[in-house]
Structure 1
Amino acid sequence: MSQQKVDPITLQVINGALKTIAEEMGHVLYRMSFSSIIRESQDMGAGLFDTRYQTICESESTPMHIGSIPAYLRGIEATLQGGAWHEGDVVVHNHPYHGSSHSPDLAIIIPIFHEGELVGFSGNTAHHIDIGAATPGLIIDVGDVYAEGMLMAGLKLYEKGVRNEALVQMFKYNSRASTQLIRDIEAQVASAHLGVKRFKELLQRYGKDFTFDAINQLIDYSETIMRQKIQEIPDGEYRAEGFLDDDGRHRDQRLPVVVTVKVQGDSVIVDLTGSAAQTLTAYNVPFEGSCKVAAFAAFRKILLDAYTTQSPVPSNEGSFRPISVLAPLGTIFNPIFPAAAEARFTQCNRMIDLIIKALAPVLPERIIAGSSASISFAAYSGIKPSGDYWVFLEVNEGAYGGRPRSDGPDAIDNLMANTRNNPIEDLGMHLPMICDRYELRDDVMPGAGKYRGGIGVVKAQRVLTNGFITHESERHYDVPWGIFGGCEGVVGKTEIYNVATPDDIVSMPSKFSGYASRAGDVMAYYSPCGGGYGNPLERSAEQVREDVLDDFCSLDQAYEVYGVVLDEQVQLDLAATDKRRAQLTAQNG
């Protein structure tokens, strides 16, 4: 069937309508949810998809969620209960070897029918606080995927409008936080139903054929722009290497991450050959639902950034098409079933960090220095006096590297993470926890440069009951890189101590599972600081003085690295500064 050309004005109207539908779906999901990881942190995503599982539109939320739903849909096609879609069906799905990003991210998918014909899907994913894994909330050190909790593949929560009460009862008796789990799933169902309703209204207004002509035109447009941006990169192979701290069990075994970006005309291949073999723990990455999505997110970030792009590019399937990903089977980025794969996020962030590093020589005005490129994902839990569990999931901030025209942002989720912080007031109101400290790091300085690296966060959380802590993070050893003369950033660290004996500090690895915590225990997380961009001697002396006044730079660093001479009253000596900078320039060759 030939596709008719939709006029530009109507195309933009339909594009705006699609974007609004996705945003409204997202708002309904997080506003109706009960657990703070969705309600406050917004660890979720929502959108519409066609029958070829192409992304039509997506909410502005964590990229990992939306980019993965096409993989969920392909997994559902292979596992769908009964093998056919009907009006009134609602599917729940989270199997990491059938397209899921990882098992705690449950997808809710509802088919969209128009005049009796299946025309697409409304769907969302959200991270749930507990699905019955071996440790509360999160899991790292387990031997296979079955230890990650309930696995659902193509199961119908509703079939032809009738709820599957047996499945709901399974949720009730297999989660430590079953009430929140069920209510959050209900919020997902409401969000997806809204997407169905709004898309049907669009189809009724413009007709099915015209609407999908516009959708396909928007997808083709996004693909065209992405290909144009890729074509601006010189053909070639660009390589960068780094490493991960450990797999959560074997503490002295670093895990290599090797990224080779192969640019060929208007397409690109991300080749992960040379990266670590799959681990014996859950520190693996589902290939379809997470690894590929990270590569998509990287190039959208680098090439289609809204601030640097002249006109907005619709967020849809078109931006994925020019990008291919290779990861040998049996490696950390493409594990073989039944390897566990729950703790999969930090590897993806490091992959993006290395894609940026690899492309730095040919995209100096588009890339940044090394970021924290991790995620601090912590699960705190304990037993209430009633005998029930309380479980809390928290995502802590990191920092970006210095940028071509400005400093790296401080204390912010970075690269492919986009979750929000959980208000400490909410924490104190609902959970037996107290936040003792939440501020920028002051124990180290960020990477110096013409534009300095971002400053990481320090978050100290105290638990008031006995329980368990599981923590997934990275970069206690591999320092965020500086670029174009900029200095390296600083690695992160994690400590645990009890308020009764605050000097008895236990240095923790970057990731650990099921630490048995006592009432009064505090976990203090210090996120990595970003690397610097450009020669520190090119940073204005007055800006360095401001940094010292803000405690973003020490007097010693100002003198030794930036070549800025300040007296004890932090007054600038311009003549001495010029002399010192000339001296450092001569020393550095």
Structure 2
Amino acid sequence: MTKWEEYGLRPSDVSIVGHQLVAICEEMALALVRAAYSSIVREGKDCSTALLDRTGRVIAQAQRIPVQLASLSAVAHSAIAAIGDELPGRDGFILTNDPYSGAQHLNDLILLAPIYAPAPPEGDSALLAWTGSVIHLIDIGGAAAGTQTNAKDIVAEGLRIPPMALSKSDLESGWLRQILEANVRVSDQVLGDIQAQRSAAALGVSRYLDLCRRYGGAVVEKISEMIMDYAERVTRDAISELPDGTYEAEDLVESDGLGGGPFPIRAALRIKDDELTIDLTGTAGQAQGPINCPLAATLSAAYSFVLGFVLGDTVFVNDGCYRSVEVVIPERSLVNPSYPAPVHARTNVANRVYSTLKLAFASIDPDRSMAAGQDTPYQYTLSRLDDNGSYEMITGVMFGGWGGSVWGAGLDGVSSHLSNATNLPVEYEEATTTWYRLIEYSIRDGSEGGGRYRGGRGLRRVYEILAPGGTFSAYTDRISVPPRGLFGGGDGAVGGFKIIRRDEVIPLAPLVTEVPLVTGDVVVLESAGGGGWHAEEDLEEATTGA
């Protein structure tokens, strides 16, 4: 009897249930965004959702933020182990943001909600699965509002929540609510976003139980195993098509915000039959500043590379995709720091790990290669304490150009490979703030690297400050070292931050915290353009992307 016949299934049932699991995750994500309060979640969509089996393995996920999703099972395993037998109740959940317990940085909050069977059979566990979600909290306390780039340890970065099982009342009226209200600047937005997570989790629980009622819980669990096994087979097949060997590359992270840098990121891809080893040995040691990339974020960068360049969109994304991939990450390094190293700006390193792997892959298959782009998001916060003692705060992200590739010109000003967040709409900012205004949002013509296929163009975003007392915080990379072209293509232009104060231009470092602003200041953000792909052969063959 085949495994299909054992459960009375047809092969098509696996595809149908697989798509339904993904649809549940997508519906959770939509519900989360619609219910959110903060700019970074409601408008920037900096959040992710997934379904995990009872042991914490990801079985399905929404197409959201790769750097949040690819290591969600790591934090789930850590959190489930930490709480032991004290599982949360039916209206409870596990909460954590601890980078040293599997999370990534303090602003990314993970919520895991259990899915219990309505009437578990005698002798069987009532736990069927978990819903999982990640949101970027607009503030988590700490020394600076929203974006913290000058901390020397994680204690200064904000409130650290170890994995813990909590109840509905803990958040709605209990000690957790009181702790958050006392420690974060915009508690209404923070608590509202966490409630949005809970609402999304409740929806996911309901939809998963509907699926179990239709097919049976054991069948859904078995199909989840089949989907992961299939993902493993597809990944192994894709790796086996690549030539055996070792392929190496190196890139740089420019600064840690406290005077250190540049920091080398070294990567080797080792292919043997149907297995891939990603080795980051030789990468710089951990930094004093907050660019350190926790283990989970580094794993996400590595796994996201596998999905993007080895697999493509050929399979449901789940933990089965990573079974044939080993990631070697040195301890006490920039890509695996030890407590209490600060980690707030970890995406600077995570994105550079991805771009270094992308560069190494160009030696394996030039026909699936891509030049360097901005690759690192610009995260920024504009904050002001008003006369009533309340904070006005906006946190957003801005992106740059992608590198040119065999597929054509690089995309202009779109989200980086590890992100899928969106920019803040001008209308949203105009409707929610009175102390500044956005006076320009444009594409940076001329920022692209030339070549047969040009790089994508960066963006320019300009704010005019209308009232005193505000501050500007931000972090990014590619401010001194440009995105390199590939195979003779031209380099993209670097980006940067600056303040224009009367007739003076004040350049800012790539990581800045609470730069004071005065009335009349003009704050300029310019993102890098992407590198070009291949030397330009002649004007007729060169693409302009127009």
Alpha carbons of 1:147 and 1:542: their partners in 2 closer, same or farther (altered >3 Å)? closer
Q: Give secondary structure in 2 for the equivalent of 1:112.
A: strand
Q: Choose from 449, 457, 473 the match for 1:470.
A: 473
Alpha carbons of 1:233 and 1:543: their partners in 2 closer, same or farther (altered >3 Å)? closer
Alpha carbons of 1:192 and 1:542: their partners in 2 closer, same or farther (altered >3 Å)? closer
Specify the alignment match of 1:84 in structure 2.
87
1:123 is the counterpart of 2:125: no
Specify the alignment match of 2:294 in structure 1.
286
Q: How do 1:196-211 residues align onto structure 2 when only pairs under 5 Å count?
A: 196-211=205-220
CA shift for structure 1 position 82: 7.4
1:506 is the counterpart of 2:506: yes
Q: How do 1:316-465 residues align onto structure 2 when only pairs under 5 Å count?
A: 316-431=318-433, 432-442=435-445, 444-465=446-467
CA shift for structure 1 position 493: 1.9
1:95 is the counterpart of 2:106: no
TM-score (norm 2): 0.94
Q: Which runs of 5+ in 1 are unaligned?
A: 307-311, 551-589
Contact 1:156/1:164, CA 8 A, preserved across alignment: no
| Alpha-carbon distance between aligned partners in 2 of 1:173 and 1:25, rounded to the nearest angstrom | 29
Contact 1:247/1:281, CA 8 A, preserved across alignment: yes
Specify the alignment match of 1:262 in structure 2.
270
Q: Give secondary structure in 2 for the equivalent of 1:270.
A: strand
Between 4-13 and 105-114, report the one with greater CA deviation: 4-13
AA aligned to 1:401 is: G
Contact 1:33/1:187, CA 8 A, preserved across alignment: yes
CA shift for structure 1 position 405: 2.8
| Alpha-carbon distance between aligned partners in 1 of 2:508 and 2:248, rounded to the nearest angstrom | 32
AA aligned to 1:84 is: L
Q: Give secondary structure in 1 for the equivalent of 2:300.
A: helix
CA shift for structure 1 position 219: 1.0
Contact 1:158/1:164, CA 8 A, preserved across alignment: no
Deviations 1:319-368 (A, max 9, x none): 12222221211111000111111110021111111111111022111121
1:26 is the counterpart of 2:34: no
Q: How do 1:102-113 residues align onto structure 2 when only pairs under 5 Å count?
A: 102-113=105-116
Q: Give secondary structure in 1 for the equivalent of 2:343.
A: coil
Contact 1:30/1:42, CA 8 A, preserved across alignment: yes
CA shift for structure 1 position 7: 2.1
| Alpha-carbon distance between aligned partners in 2 of 1:33 and 1:205, rounded to the nearest angstrom | 31
CA shift for structure 1 position 539: 5.0
| Alpha-carbon distance between aligned partners in 1 of 2:102 and 2:291, rounded to the nearest angstrom | 17
Q: How do 1:299-314 residues align onto structure 2 when only pairs under 5 Å count?
A: 299-306=306-313, 312-314=314-316
| Alpha-carbon distance between aligned partners in 2 of 1:158 and 1:231, rounded to the nearest angstrom | 47
Between 37-46 and 210-219, report the one with greater CA deviation: 210-219
CA shift for structure 1 position 95: 0.6
Alpha carbons of 1:132 and 1:83: their partners in 2 closer, same or farther (altered >3 Å)? same
AA aligned to 1:17 is: Q
1:297 is the counterpart of 2:300: no
For the aligned residue pairs, the C-alpha RMSD in angstroms reads 1.9
CA shift for structure 1 position 458: 1.0
Alpha carbons of 1:406 and 1:26: their partners in 2 closer, same or farther (altered >3 Å)? same
| Alpha-carbon distance between aligned partners in 1 of 2:315 and 2:464, rounded to the nearest angstrom | 44
| Alpha-carbon distance between aligned partners in 1 of 2:356 and 2:171, rounded to the nearest angstrom | 48
1:147 is the counterpart of 2:156: yes
Q: Give secondary structure in 2 for the equivalent of 1:97.
A: helix
Q: Which runs of 5+ in 2 are unaligned?
A: 121-125
Alpha carbons of 1:463 and 1:265: their partners in 2 closer, same or farther (altered >3 Å)? farther
Alpha carbons of 1:232 and 1:517: their partners in 2 closer, same or farther (altered >3 Å)? same
AA aligned to 2:305 is: A
Specify the alignment match of 1:568 in structure 2.
none
Q: Give secondary structure in 2 for the equivalent of 1:261.
A: strand
Alpha carbons of 1:434 and 1:70: their partners in 2 closer, same or farther (altered >3 Å)? same
Contact 2:247/2:364, CA 8 A, preserved across alignment: no
| Alpha-carbon distance between aligned partners in 1 of 2:539 and 2:324, rounded to the nearest angstrom | 38
Instruction: State how many pairs are aligned.
Output: 534
| Alpha-carbon distance between aligned partners in 1 of 2:113 and 2:525, rounded to the nearest angstrom | 40
1:172 is the counterpart of 2:181: yes
Alpha carbons of 1:539 and 1:324: their partners in 2 closer, same or farther (altered >3 Å)? farther
Alpha carbons of 1:414 and 1:542: their partners in 2 closer, same or farther (altered >3 Å)? closer
Q: Give secondary structure in 1 for the equivalent of 2:402.
A: coil
Specify the alignment match of 1:39 in structure 2.
42
Between 146-155 and 451-460, report the one with greater CA deviation: 146-155
CA shift for structure 1 position 52: 2.1
| Alpha-carbon distance between aligned partners in 2 of 1:338 and 1:161, rounded to the nearest angstrom | 28
* Higher-Rg member (1/2): 1
AA aligned to 2:87 is: A
Q: How do 1:222-241 residues align onto structure 2 when only pairs under 5 Å count?
A: 222-241=231-250
Q: Give secondary structure in 2 for the equivalent of 1:274.
A: coil
Alpha carbons of 1:429 and 1:13: their partners in 2 closer, same or farther (altered >3 Å)? same
Contact 1:240/1:354, CA 8 A, preserved across alignment: yes
Q: Give secondary structure in 2 for the equivalent of 1:381.
A: strand
| Alpha-carbon distance between aligned partners in 1 of 2:10 and 2:69, rounded to the nearest angstrom | 28
CA shift for structure 1 position 181: 0.5
| Alpha-carbon distance between aligned partners in 2 of 1:188 and 1:427, rounded to the nearest angstrom | 23
Alpha carbons of 1:448 and 1:401: their partners in 2 closer, same or farther (altered >3 Å)? same
Contact 2:294/2:336, CA 8 A, preserved across alignment: yes
Alpha carbons of 1:539 and 1:221: their partners in 2 closer, same or farther (altered >3 Å)? farther
Q: Give secondary structure in 2 for the equivalent of 1:468.
A: strand
AA aligned to 1:384 is: D
| Alpha-carbon distance between aligned partners in 1 of 2:466 and 2:71, rounded to the nearest angstrom | 37
CA shift for structure 1 position 414: 1.8
Q: Give secondary structure in 1 for the equivalent of 2:440.
A: strand
Alpha carbons of 1:303 and 1:429: their partners in 2 closer, same or farther (altered >3 Å)? same
Alpha carbons of 1:106 and 1:445: their partners in 2 closer, same or farther (altered >3 Å)? closer
| Alpha-carbon distance between aligned partners in 2 of 1:108 and 1:50, rounded to the nearest angstrom | 15
CA shift for structure 1 position 262: 1.4
Q: Choose from 489, 494, 499 the match for 1:496.
A: 499
Specify the alignment match of 2:123 in structure 1.
none
CA shift for structure 1 position 453: 0.6
| Alpha-carbon distance between aligned partners in 2 of 1:479 and 1:44, rounded to the nearest angstrom | 29
| Alpha-carbon distance between aligned partners in 1 of 2:540 and 2:24, rounded to the nearest angstrom | 46
Specify the alignment match of 1:187 in structure 2.
196
| Alpha-carbon distance between aligned partners in 1 of 2:77 and 2:403, rounded to the nearest angstrom | 36
CA shift for structure 1 position 160: 8.9
Q: Choose from 484, 498, 518 the match for 1:481.
A: 484
Contact 2:495/2:528, CA 8 A, preserved across alignment: yes
Q: Percent identity?
A: 28
Between 184-193 and 319-328, report the one with greater CA deviation: 319-328
Q: Give secondary structure in 1 for the equivalent of 2:70.
A: helix
AA aligned to 1:131 is: I
CA shift for structure 1 position 85: 3.5
Deviations 1:492-532 (A, max 9, x none): 2221123xx0x301111111122122233232111111111
CA shift for structure 1 position 29: 0.2
